[in-house]
Structure 1
Amino acid sequence: MGNERSDNADIRYITEEELPAWDRALARGFLRPHVADGVEYRRLQFEPNRFQGAFDPFDPTRCVATFRSFDIELTVPGGGTVRADAITGVTVNSTHRRRGLLSRMMTTDLTDAHRRGCPVAILIAAEYNIYGRFGFGPATANAGLRIDVKESGGLRADLPESPGGRIDFVTMAELRELGPDLHERWRRGQPGAIARKPYYWQLVTGEVTLPGFDWKEPFAAVHRDASGAVTGLMVYRLDDNWDGPVPNCTLTVGAFLALDAPTAVALWRLAFSVDWVRTVEIENLAPDDPLPLWLNDPRQARPGREVADFMWLRVLDVSAAFAARRYGAPGRTVLEVTDRDGWTEGRWALEVAPDGTGRCTRTEDLADLALGAGQLGSLYLGAETLPRLVAGGLATELRPGAAAEADLLLRTPLRAWNPDSF
């Protein structure tokens, strides 16, 4: 009977005192048993006017939908950054679906984000077909790998080494101390990467836990160069499987950061040399990572379980967003963008100078290409190309050859990647 009601829920920004009801609704919306209160962690995340909740008018204490956002710095092609409205914790309880609750919360959030001056919004889509109607498009991808240690032959012997470098195992307390600075240095060179809030490190190191998510202390190793500076880290876990008397263990890499190739080589050599390990599984690797080419047999780097779109992006301010990134070649193209919510609607001239800087301004000139707001989001970080969008029927070439020409402008030397859930 509950799905037949036509009442409107009360949607509002919650107070900190309402976090227990919000946390329970979040667990229910994600189909997770609410085994215990997760408010300790929610308090670390809490910001006024950023946690939305929908409350049942027949029981005003019952939260039936959730929505949270926070501002975060996003690295864009060329090493620049923009402020992004990061959306997460989006749920609608099954008793209150198809009543427009998500649309109302999303409209409120994006309007506020635009008012705050966020050029883009980002989120991770649990289902592919939900967020395109709000102007989001896939902007990064996961690329898991599964490698048979013996059959791959391990890493080639001719790879660059780190003279005087060393690897040390560290405690979770040491990881909380060393990780943030390393990540900050790394993510500024990786388009698609986002900054990490302090509570990120508290959660991944077990200082704070979320009920319902089993946390076991992983192995954590850092690489130091000859001067003692930390240049990389690897966090992994091991299962303890045996084929009778024969070890058949899998080493699963959950986190991997390296500032240079010699550091990466040293850390991967460690992963491939751990006793009893038959398989190395990497949950999420950058699409341009050279690891498969470093193996003696690259065929053994097979796709893992996590190969899919990951972070989605929505442009809110075309001029600010496109001025922040860098481009592959000088030139000019005009894009006709359709946007049901109006943020990016209209005709835009993208002009790129010989030094790789660019600007995107409104124009009355004839358009070269036509596309939607979601496709603009997919192009922004370089996750997609215009020729592929045209071939897929998701963009229209209005002038012959325009897609290939614009692709040269938008091309990035490093594909976007974000290893972090949020």
Structure 2
Amino acid sequence: MSIEIRTIHDSEISDWLRAIFTGFLRPPVVSEEEVAARRPGMDLDRVQGAFDRGRCVGTFRSFEQRLTVPGGARVAADAISGVTVSPTHRRRGLLSRMMARDLAAAKERGDVVATLIAAEYPIYGRFGFGPSAWGTEWQVETARAGLDPRWAGPDDGGRVDLGDGADYRALGPELHERLAGERAGLVSRDKRWWQRASGELRFPVEEWKEPYYIFHRSPEGRVDGVAAYSADGHWEAKQPQGTITVRELLAATPEAERALWHFLFSVDWVLSVRTGHRAPDDVLPLLLPDPRAARVVSHADLLWTRLLDVPRALEARTYPVSGSLVIEVQDPAGLAGGRYRLDASPEGASCAPTTASADLSLSMGDLSALYLGDESPVRLLALGRVVEHRTGAAALADALLRTPRKPWCPDIF
């Protein structure tokens, strides 16, 4: 019997969740409370299931999102999540079929890009996705860091205050919106995101540990930064061995960023701080008098993007220099391939299909990896993944597309 792929009905949510739990190696038990908690966040028109003789053996969902691109514009994104294929049904093309349906629908809606967080690196390149924002996590020994452990607060008239989950829900969204107008790679957050992040909304299958919340206020009283963290108050032989794990740290000003980190490194009984996923060029190591105290414990791809409309995507972002390029984009899926002329300058950009000879040729996945400004066309040229038809074209693409700060996506979705 052929396997049917379609959107699901309300009565199938439990079976669909059971398939997700199986794919992500969680106990395959779904309570009524679990269904009730998750159902309001599911747009069933964008939730697919693969069904074999009535049982769900594959899952896929997407939802509306906005992605910040270089320059601060925010483009419509098709955010993909909850992708699994049961171990009994691998290598049958189920993911390919679900992905094709979703991307075609996103293209029809007018979404500019698709986004996802890849559980495994090798899966999504064949669908035209590329890793466009990476994340780095450091573990810092507080004694070696060199910051004053007796720090009592900012010396510029600002302050750091403790708060709670209600404060986080009230103050965090406005701060995040400020950052989302500046930092490429940030994605939009809806009300349910803030409810889950603060524990107001809990899924029964997920363990919740209440974090601490701190807020930085400028001398004028404006909230310019927030951090959420958990602490392990472990002791051995009457000696504290505590570790702070940062869940979130957002700062709209350099002063707020420095103050929040300094606070975290000055908490009593704490020997180390784990930073959570930060941008690879985060200020943190150089904020420390001894940057060697910050040891990289994880550096990996985080946000993957896939362009669905090349002209709109390239016109939405900004460019630091002027230049023109003709780019040949190979897209086996047939969604957005072709030859395009990009005319860009600091004042704006235009991009349109062209019949002119190409300066560069590359895959959709590689163009998507370049889109937010992290990857280098020159490096991809050295790898043989970009073909240069005009001498110097890769260097020009590098000058046009690279950004002073790396993109950063602090969210897992």
Written as runs of structure 1 = structure 2, the 5 A alignment for 1:274-293 is 274-293=267-286
- Is 2:357 the counterpart of 1:366? yes
Letter paired with 2:265: F
Residue 113 of structure 1: aligned partner: 106
The percent identity for this pair of structures is 48
Contact 1:16/1:46, CA 8 A, preserved across alignment: no
CA–CA distance in structure 1, aligned partners of residues 112 and 101 of structure 2: 16
Residue 329 of structure 2: aligned partner: 337
Q: By how many angstroms is 1:102 displaced?
A: 0.7
Match of 1:320 among 312, 331, 334: 312
Written as runs of structure 1 = structure 2, the 5 A alignment for 1:340-419 is 340-355=332-347, 357-419=348-410
Contact 1:92/1:102, CA 8 A, preserved across alignment: yes
CA–CA distance in structure 1, aligned partners of residues 203 and 3 of structure 2: 28
CA–CA distance in structure 2, aligned partners of residues 201 and 390 of structure 1: 41
CA–CA distance in structure 1, aligned partners of residues 72 and 290 of structure 2: 33
Pick which of 108-117 and 23-32 moved more.
23-32
Q: By how many angstroms is 1:162 displaced?
A: 6.5
CA–CA distance in structure 1, aligned partners of residues 224 and 101 of structure 2: 41
- Is 2:165 the counterpart of 1:172? yes
Letter paired with 1:40: A
Match of 1:101 among 74, 94, 110: 94
Task: Tell me the matched-pair count.
Answer: 410
CA–CA distance in structure 2, aligned partners of residues 246 and 354 of structure 1: 57
CA–CA distance in structure 1, aligned partners of residues 271 and 29 of structure 2: 36
Contact 2:224/2:251, CA 8 A, preserved across alignment: yes
CA shift digits 1:254-310 (9 cap, x unpaired): 100001011111111110110011111111112232121111111212212x31001
- Is 2:118 the counterpart of 1:125? yes
Residue 178 of structure 2: aligned partner: 185
Residue 31 of structure 1: aligned partner: 25
CA–CA distance in structure 2, aligned partners of residues 155 and 8 of structure 1: 66
Letter paired with 1:363: T
CA–CA distance in structure 2, aligned partners of residues 207 and 53 of structure 1: 29
- Secondary structure of 1:49's counterpart equals helix
> Structure 1 residue runs of 4+, over 6 Å off?
none
Listed as ranges, the gaps of 5+ residues in structure 1 are: 1-6
CA–CA distance in structure 1, aligned partners of residues 405 and 149 of structure 2: 24
Q: By how many angstroms is 1:36 displaced?
A: 4.2
TM-score, normalization by structure 2? 0.95
Listed as ranges, the gaps of 5+ residues in structure 2 are: none
Letter paired with 1:48: L
- Secondary structure of 1:358's counterpart equals strand
Written as runs of structure 1 = structure 2, the 5 A alignment for 1:147-296 is 147-154=140-147, 163-296=156-289
Residue 128 of structure 2: aligned partner: 135
Letter paired with 1:403: A
Contact 1:350/1:361, CA 8 A, preserved across alignment: yes
Contact 2:216/2:224, CA 8 A, preserved across alignment: yes
Contact 1:66/1:91, CA 8 A, preserved across alignment: yes
Contact 1:170/1:222, CA 8 A, preserved across alignment: yes
Q: By how many angstroms is 1:319 displaced?
A: 0.7
- Is 2:58 the counterpart of 1:77? no
TM-score, normalization by structure 1? 0.93
Contact 1:19/1:42, CA 8 A, preserved across alignment: no
CA–CA distance in structure 2, aligned partners of residues 172 and 406 of structure 1: 45
